[in-house]
Chains A and B, each alone.
Chain A
Amino acid sequence: AQSVTQPDIHITVSEGASLELRCNYSYGATPYLFWYVQSPGQGLQLLLKYFSGDTLVQGIKGFEAEFKRSQSSFNLRKPSVHWSDAAEYFCAVMNAGNNRKLIWGLGTSLAVNP
């Protein structure tokens, strides 16, 4: 069965520092991979997605992610974090089959120190 692991439950970084959020997946074929962000009291917003092709994908708000098949990873990065990036970040993989559903990681909570 497909699964997604986000090893870090909570991360704190200083404003202006770089950020990397880890995501590992378990999936037999080439996965569809996603990162979503949820600001406090808000719904979720798609940051970026990987379907195929270039393994480095660019998203909104200055985020990027790299798909590494050999490591079953899809880590999210940002070179310089802003205070407004404090939020919950969810990695997700889409399963195969007729009724495709997102399989979600448990999330990483990001705090940003001024």
Chain B
Amino acid sequence: DTEVTQTPKHLVMGMTNKKSLKCEQHMGHRAMYWYKQKAKKPPELMFVYSYEKLSINESVPSRFSPECPNSSLLNLHLHALQPEDSALYLCASSQKGGGTGELFFGEGSRLTVL
């Protein structure tokens, strides 16, 4: 199983809603990532969890709250988002914490904030 699974694939939410994005991998990888990607742009790193501990937070606004319940799961909790937060949110994993650059990406959750 070499997949990273993200749900939901599409999400529309209002600025006062609370929602969550979910990511799951069963490759035994020990690092998991959240990226944000705008159209025609490279992905922007948001958070990295290494061995289930938050190791990198790229100064992401607090309306985005990551959670890593266990080594296979990664959540991104969303609250009071702004329309400019509309983007493709990509989850990725890598075999080791500390980063090798060899990332396995999910297909993403496309978020629209109204």
Question: Which residues of chain A have a CB within 8 Å of any CB of chain B?
Answer: 32, 34, 36, 41-46, 49, 88, 90, 92, 94, 98-102, 104-107, 109
Contacts and interface: CB of A to CB of B under 8 A. Distances in A.
Contacts of A104: 42-43
Given A32-B101, A49-B102, A101 B56 contact: yes
Nearest to A45: B105
A99 B48 CA distance: 9
B98 A100 contact: yes
B99 interface: yes
Nearest to B103: A46
Interface residues of B, number: 22
B102 A90 contact: no
B101 A49 contact: yes
B43 A101 contact: no
B108 A99 contact: no
B32 interface: no
A34 B55 CA distance: 22
B62 to A, nearest CB: 20
B101 A43 contact: no
B107 interface: yes
B4 interface: yes
Contacts of B98: 98, 100
Given A43-B92, A100-B101, A101-B56, 14 more contacts: A36-B103, A42-B108, A43-B4, A43-B106, A46-B102, A88-B40, A94-B99, A98-B98, A101-B45, A101-B48, A102-B103, A104-B42, A105-B42, A106-B41
